[in-house]
Structure 1
Amino acid sequence: MLYTHATIITVNTNRDVFTNGAIFVRGNLIADVGRSEELILKYPEEETYNLEGHIVIPGLISTHMHTAQTLLRGAADDLELVSWLCERIWVLQGNFTPEDGYAAARISIAEMLKTGTTCFLESMFANRYGFGGLCKAVEESGIRGCLGKIVMDIGTYAKDPKWAMHPGLVEDREMSLLGAIKMRERWDKKANDRIRIWFGARTPGGVSEGLYKEMASISREKSIPITMHCAEVKADREFFASLSPPQTPMSFCDNVGLLGPSTVLVHMVHLDDTDIAKLAETNTHVAHCPTSNAKLASGICRVPELLNAGVNVGLGTDGAPCNNANDLMQEMKLAAIIHKAKSYDPTLVPAETVLEMATINGAKALGLEDHIGSLEVGKKADFVAVDMRRVHLQPYFSPVSAIVYSATGADVRMVVVDGEIVVEGGKLKTMDEEEVWKEGEKRGHEIAERAGLGEKVKGRWPIIV
């Protein structure tokens, strides 16, 4: 297929932008990128797809996502973190069934595809959600998924008994670590290499040092990447400081073998200068989730300092209960503006940097930069077409600024993953969207009732039926 007459933001080495560009796809690979008139002459026998009026970008890559939590969208709004986790989210998640997990994965993936995300990193899918169902949902939908199976052996947060997990979520070494290895043996590189299996470690304090070290050793031996929440809230830094001897987030992670180019650390809000230097030294990646951090009042990640130090920073939405959307297009805008507000410097984190975070930086974080993240010959045909023929998007002058500051996921009209059109005309082609959201609606409410939270999740004002 020859896709023609689009403005194409390649994010290639030169950061070329074609105002009347074309992409030639052969199989699941990009075979050519250039000016429309040149490629039309070069491939006269090929079927064409006219994308006039659209901006085409590389498929967006979310480096932090909780697929199970989409069934809990809006169930824990405007709560501080202890109540959010212990009284709502963990209780609800502790009442999941494998069928709920599959439905949650499907509605999460449907939303991501429709809003331009073609690859995501699932942070820590629990055993009770049915890991095979998550893999099945990825396989059926056509998306790419790097899927973190939870690794843990302590059922509290930062070893604080008041931050205890719901019993239904607690796993031991055999179920979590060894279970992740079994899932990798079964699913890694399946679905035409669209599935990759990761270790999804719980936050320090939720995993013993011995299990961290064992996981890190297996990670190096078997080339299994690691993702983990870290330094998200002040309580995390206080936990590290309480150890003997006192440590910082990154000194702890370094001591147990977690740092390196195959690790993505998530949130990373409460870092000092030594932490940032250690991240740069070890080539460890960071997933920035500005909406989640702002909504849960966790703070603001030091992204400008991380970037200046040479740390690779990707972008993630986190889960629906602390974002309410899985739309990485919206996340890009906040990522661009939140650091300007904090620093009083409007030049920090410009639109171009944010688009890199959502594409090529994300690909680097996932170890897939040779395959996705930019529109270049030889890479996988993963791209998104945004329809700019709308009143809220015109006029525009910089295509990159228009994507980051003006467009949202609702403006996505076409999504191609692995050479296949999975969204066309804004509609899913690989899933029945109505079936997906109706099943998600039904199961979300059933979970709330099973958890005994049916009334609490309805908000602060009276609901009259």
Structure 2
Amino acid sequence: PEFSSWKTSVFEIETARELDALCSMHIAFGNWGAKDRSIEKLNQAGLLGPDLNMVHANAMSEEEMKMLAAHGSSISVTPEIEMMMGHGYPVTGLALKNGVLTALGVDVVTSTGGDLFAQMKFALQAERAKHNEELLKEGIMPGPELSISAEQILKAATIDGARALRLDHKIGSLSPGKEADFIMVKTDSVNLLPFTDAVGAIVQSTHTGNVDSVYVAGKAVKRNGRLVDADLEKVRQKALEARDHILSRSPEGAF
């Protein structure tokens, strides 16, 4: 509703529901959240539901968070982009506190990397930094109590992400009957030694270079640190061609 007219927003939500499709919208960030109160408007119109996914939501009020939780709507936090583009602090902690289904995303890979390891780190440390800053303002030295755990962040990147996309019956966890989507991490990598706390190590220390294997629906797409059946030279060439095409059509000085 902040990027189009109210009439258009209602039409798109209703159309998505006719198609039984998830409807995701970038909403309530920067100066828009407090000014527009879009979640409150959606709630008053009876449009909130588990098929709506809100991206960012940095400026959303706690009252609006409770509205999302009551209707089962989800939030996708994209921490790196949000902090870089002035959206405000990621809303991870507030969403979890109010029982909102919280997932992690990247937003745009033109401005940042596309891996969830980075997003997990950003989400965790941004929330802890925000909490610690509040304590320091009160003259309190932050202690061992943690405002958010690595386990909560890992869930947001895996099973809760699948739930937000309404795909948790297929993916998001290693469970009987689900597709075998999983990664294998080299726990003897130098940056992971000594590997003691698996969840903490995955969320706080792992990067893509530590990934030995990736399986999608039981099929290996990466093994022994190398992609399987991938023509990387073709991918590079297409990326360069796309870049050159965009630059050729852009006004002088735009980049």
Same fold (TM over 0.5): yes
- Give the Å deviation of 1:249: 2.4
Which has the higher mean CA deviation after the structures are superposed, 381-390 or 205-214? 205-214
Match of 2:8 in 1: 211
Contact 2:72 2:100 in 1 (8 A): yes
Which has the higher mean CA deviation after the structures are superposed, 287-296 or 338-347? 338-347
Secondary structure of 2:174's counterpart equals coil
- Which gives a bigger RCO, structure 1 or 2 (Cα 8 Å, sep 6+)? 1
The one-letter code of the counterpart of 2:117 is: M
- Give the Å deviation of 1:258: 4.2
Contact 1:286 1:314 in 2 (8 A): yes
Q: Name stretches of at least 5 consecutive residues in structure 1 with no aligned partner.
A: 1-203, 241-247, 458-465
The one-letter code of the counterpart of 1:437 is: R
Structure 1 CA distance for aligned equivalents of residues 127 and 216 of structure 2: 32
Structure 1 CA distance for aligned equivalents of residues 28 and 81 of structure 2: 14
- Give the Å deviation of 1:306: 1.4
Give the alignment of 1:7-406 within 5 angstroms.
204-238=1-35, 240=36, 248-322=37-111, 324-344=112-132, 347-406=146-205
Equivalences, count: 244
Structure 1 CA distance for aligned equivalents of residues 65 and 104 of structure 2: 17
Structure 2 CA distance for aligned equivalents of residues 358 and 451 of structure 1: 36
- Give the Å deviation of 1:412: 1.2
Structure 2 CA distance for aligned equivalents of residues 407 and 426 of structure 1: 14
Structure 2 CA distance for aligned equivalents of residues 313 and 375 of structure 1: 20
Structure 2 CA distance for aligned equivalents of residues 326 and 378 of structure 1: 28
Larger radius of gyration between Structure 1 and Structure 2:
1
Structure 1 CA distance for aligned equivalents of residues 13 and 109 of structure 2: 29
Structure 1 CA distance for aligned equivalents of residues 217 and 146 of structure 2: 36
The one-letter code of the counterpart of 1:427 is: R
Match of 2:138 in 1: none
Structure 1 CA distance for aligned equivalents of residues 123 and 166 of structure 2: 22
- Give the Å deviation of 1:449: 2.6
Deviations 1:347-398 (A, max 9, x none): 1221111100000000100101111111111111100111122211111210
Structure 2 CA distance for aligned equivalents of residues 439 and 216 of structure 1: 35
Cα RMSD after superposing both structures: 1.7
Contact 2:124 2:150 in 1 (8 A): yes
Q: Which has the higher strand share?
A: 1
User: What percentage of residue pairs aligned between the two structures are identical?
Assistant: 30
Match of 1:417 in 2: 216
Contact 2:124 2:148 in 1 (8 A): yes
Structure 2 CA distance for aligned equivalents of residues 388 and 353 of structure 1: 21
- Give the Å deviation of 1:456: 4.7
TM-score of the two chains, using structure 1 as the length reference: 0.50
The one-letter code of the counterpart of 1:285 is: S
Structure 1 residues 256, 213: closer, same or farther in 2, change over 3 A? farther
The one-letter code of the counterpart of 1:406 is: S
Contact 2:79 2:122 in 1 (8 A): yes
Structure 1 residues 304, 205: closer, same or farther in 2, change over 3 A? closer
Secondary structure of 1:415's counterpart equals strand
Structure 1 CA distance for aligned equivalents of residues 96 and 125 of structure 2: 16
Contact 2:33 2:60 in 1 (8 A): no
Q: Name stretches of at least 5 consecutive residues in structure 2 with no aligned partner.
A: 133-141
Contact 2:162 2:168 in 1 (8 A): yes
1:435 aligns with 2:234: yes
Structure 1 residues 232, 429: closer, same or farther in 2, change over 3 A? same
- Give the Å deviation of 1:215: 2.4
TM-score of the two chains, using structure 2 as the length reference: 0.89
The one-letter code of the counterpart of 1:451 is: S
- Give the Å deviation of 1:230: 0.3
Structure 1 CA distance for aligned equivalents of residues 87 and 94 of structure 2: 18
